[in-house]
Amino acid sequence: MSKFLIGIDVGTGSARAGLFDQSGNLVASAKRDIALFNRGPNLYEQSSNDIWQAVAATVREAVGTAGIDPGDVAGIGMDATCSLVVIGPQGSPLPVGDTDHPERNIIVWMDHRALDQAERINAGGHDVLRYVGSQISPEMETPKLLWLKENRPEIFGKAEHFFDLTDFLTWRATGSLARSICTVTCKWTYLGHERRWDADYFQSIGLAELCANDFGRIGTTIVDAGTALGSGLTAEAAADLGLREGTPVAAGLIDAHAGGVGTVGWQDQTEAGSATSRMAYVFGTSACTMTSTTEPAFVPGVWGPYFSAMVPGLWLNEAGQSAAGAAIDHLVRFHPASTDALKQAKEAGLGLNQWLAAEAERLAPEGTDISRLADGLHVVPEFLGNRAPFADPEAKAVIAGLDMDTSVAALVRLYVAGICGLGYGLRQIVEAQSAKGIRTDTIVVSGGAGQSPLVRQLLADATGLVIAAPKTAEPVLLGSAMLGAVAGGLQKDIPAAMAAMSAAGETYAPGGAEATSYHNKRYEAFELLQQAARKIRG
């Protein structure tokens, strides 16, 4: 009898479900938008009830589309953004902002309301900060919890549970309060290699309350990703999802980490390296990089090293860009030709970025490096700060070389310059990690913003490294489905699932000596603009 696996992914703007067979082939998928509430500059909230309803709808649709018996689903894996969920008595949502909207109980990962709290925590020089690149980010959970205590003390006091969104989903599905080592190690300062919370840290930053009852409000039981939770789906959750009660549910991963699991572990050894020399680059609204090592590597400005946070037994370093796909979207909307370009894209049945990529290929002289379209135009696309390697949430974008050309061709040039800028930011991360002994020979790109062959080639040229694409079109969903395979007993562990269920797709080599020289000069300009922006701000 055929068995199937479900991977569930909750991103910033949508929830998705994918149904996979045991070999990792996608059988059916579904998507639902989720609401994102922007209450002001850098203030973003969501509703856990809205997200759960979207999850349930996607699972029912995917299973229905495939026409399979729900009893043939052997396991479920989940991933989500690293957003903070606040739950009160009887599982009720508690508002994190406006009390007129109690359903808005999530502070979204990209919310920067806790900048002041993060700065105060960083000033303390706490030992746990060594494992987050020496600087905690306002995107992480302890600064947000401190903000909640200081600004919404009644909500903080009333809350019974604080979850990372992934752990909320598995709790809602199974009733288990166990947390994934991925979420709490990467975003909550849990010391995964020692399997403990640091009580002194919480007491010294003003969150001593969280130490009570063996850290019961943030996680007493911490388990590896892929661990089967509770007794599987509860009757209520099974009814919501249209599945069988008791279907195994795995402890989950942060969305980017699921993308890493789904992309870097293919078994055949080729010129594209191995799991410990491949960097996963999950390129969506934001971008995250994942690199695994056998020994811990401490890289200033790069999160980690985190033990067992992605692949059990390996150390993980996590970096990335707070705005990536979103940065390109924001950049092109600035240009006067964006309205005309969007109209032409719709007429061609393409998304705007797809159309711009096609136009870049059309406009570039045959046989030339497409990045030459951006000659004289430079973009540092740090609209939402620099996550790595500078851990500078106050960083801002810089554009140099603009003229008065309002044509669509000028917009295409700006688009190409923006993609190159993301590539140079990625190169900075690779170089910072290389200086601390982390070897990278291949970057495996996944995520919606990295689908274009043009984008992949520009990233290869900008970084000077081979860019590989996974064979599957849905690597994040596949990574979560792999967790379900482990929880359901179809795979013995995550490395076995990675080897059995993933494969390599196309690869893109960087250009030759001339292209290398050209991009080295553009990279120098990129860093000069960054430095000038920091100096001006200072």
Q: What is the mean pLDDT of the chain?
A: 95
pLDDT score for 271 = 44
Q: Which amino acid is at 325?
A: G
Residue from 262, 290, 296 nearest 277 by CA: 290
Burial of residue 460 (number of CB atoms within 10 Å: 0-12, 13-18, 19+): buried
Domain chopping of the chain, boundaries: 4-253, 279-291+322-470+503-538
Helices (H), 336-407: 338-347, 352-363
pLDDT score for 198 = 98
Burial string for 359-389 (b: 16+ CB within 10 Å, else e) reads bbeeebeeeebbbebbeebbbbbbbbbbbbb
Quote the strand ranges of 389-431, DSSP E.
Answer: 398-400
Q: For the ranges 81-90, 399-408, 466-475, which has the lowest average pLDDT?
A: 466-475
pLDDT of 535 over the 80 cut: yes
Between 266 and 27, the more confident residue is 27
How many whole angstroms separate alpha carbon 19 and alpha carbon 486? 15
Residues in Cβ contact with 296 at an 8 Å cutoff, skipping those fewer than 6 apart: 193, 305, 307, 315
Burial string for 70-98 (b: 16+ CB within 10 Å, else e) reads beebbbbbbbbbbbbbbbbeeeebbbbbe
CATH of 279-291+322-470+503-538, one of 1.10.760.10, 3.30.300.20, 1.20.58.2240, 3.100.10.10: 1.20.58.2240
| Whole-number CA gyration radius for the chain | 22
pLDDT confidence bin for 275, thresholds 50/70/90: confident
Tokens for 504, please give them. 């390599």
What's the predicted TM-score (pTM) here? 0.90
How many whole angstroms separate alpha carbon 161 and alpha carbon 159? 6
What is the topology classification, in CATH, of domain 4-253? Nucleotidyltransferase; domain 5 (3.30.420)
Residue from 41, 16, 2, 130 nearest 479 by CA: 16
How many whole angstroms separate alpha carbon 452 and alpha carbon 434? 27
Work out the average pLDDT over 346-360.
Answer: 96
pLDDT of 170 over the 70 cut: yes
pLDDT of 509 over the 50 cut: yes
Work out the average pLDDT over 451-467.
Answer: 96
What CA dihedral angle connects 295, 256, 82 and 144, to 10 degrees? Answer: 60
pLDDT score for 1 = 67
Work out the average pLDDT over 224-231.
Answer: 98
pLDDT score for 447 = 85
pLDDT score for 284 = 87
pLDDT score for 272 = 43
